[in-house]
Amino acid sequence: MAKKTETTKPVTRKEEKFLPGTKSLSLNDLIQIKADVLQMLDALENAMDFNLSTIERIRKRGSGVKRYGFLDKVSDVSSDNMQFAPQMFSDTALKDILRKIEELRNILLAINQFGRTINDLLLIAGDNAYQLALMYYNSVRELARRRVPGAEQTFRILQQFFRHGRRQDEEPTEEEVETDVRALLHGKKDGKIVIEHEKPHLVGGKHVVIDETHKDKRNEELRIEN
């Protein structure tokens, strides 16, 4: 009988790792996890017939969960001293609620850990996506410097995400001031140019050109010393 040869199944896009650094987490896995979480959330909301307000939430937090030691002690003492209990009190009901509190606490701890894990995955995904996008951006920038046809237009589209506006207390560069002055002189910008003359006692005169521009929401005094 001929021995069957094992063939390696090619990896399809759906089976690729969703994130570098994870063992085997695909996009389909995340979609399924989201569906499961939403289903559980829907089941919990359907089981609740009330909505706590902010004030009610604060009041109930102080009256019960933070005093678990007192609740647990009453549960122990009341079982052996039911002769002191009021008519409406039930030690079995109290014990049942305390067991539910324990389960809810364990669920909350698990959910908090789940949230931290999801947040870490989100950070990893964001960083990996940024590194890939930055790789493309750097390539386009280099090709634009080499004057490759079409690269400069693509580079200008992406470059806007790396431009930072000047701070209000930051002085404009000499090149920016000269550009604004030329634009004002040729009527390409609205504003005015004021020339001030200051004469120090020991040194020659000094001229200051004040350029006020009013476009691009800018109204600041730009100075050139000659």
pLDDT tens for 46-95 read 888 888 888 888 888 777 777 888 999 999 999 999 999 999 999 999 99
**120 and 58 both lie in a single domain:** yes
Q: Give a yes or no: residue 182 inside a domain.
A: yes
Domain count within the chain: 2
Whether the Cβ atoms of residue 222 and residue 177 lie closer than 8 Å to each other: yes
**190 and 125 both lie in a single domain:** no
Q: Give a yes or no: residue 191 inside a domain.
A: yes
Greatest mean pLDDT among 12-16, 99-103, 159-163 lies in 99-103
CA distances from 52 to 25, 49, 65, 98, 208 (A): 37, 10, 15, 20, 67
Domain termination site, one of 129, 156, 191 = 129
Average of per-residue pLDDT across 91-110:
94
Q: Give a yes or no: residue 164 inside a domain.
A: no
Average pLDDT, the chain: 78
Q: Helix, strand, or coil here: 103?
A: helix
DSSP 203: S
Whether the Cβ atoms of residue 155 and residue 139 lie closer than 8 Å to each other: no
Q: Give a yes or no: residue 183 inside a domain.
A: yes
Q: Give a yes or no: residue 189 inside a domain.
A: yes
Average of per-residue pLDDT across 20-29:
76
User: H-type helices in 16-150, by residue range?
Assistant: 27-47, 54-63, 68-80, 91-145
Residue 118, both tokens: 């999801």
Q: Give a yes or no: residue 99 inside a domain.
A: yes
What's the start-to-end Cα distance of the chain, in Å? Answer: 97
Which residue segment(s) compose the domain that 217 sits in? 175-225
Residue of 138, 135, 132, 172 whose CA lies nearest to 155: 138
**60 and 117 both lie in a single domain:** yes
Q: Give a yes or no: residue 150 inside a domain.
A: no
Q: Give a yes or no: residue 38 inside a domain.
A: no
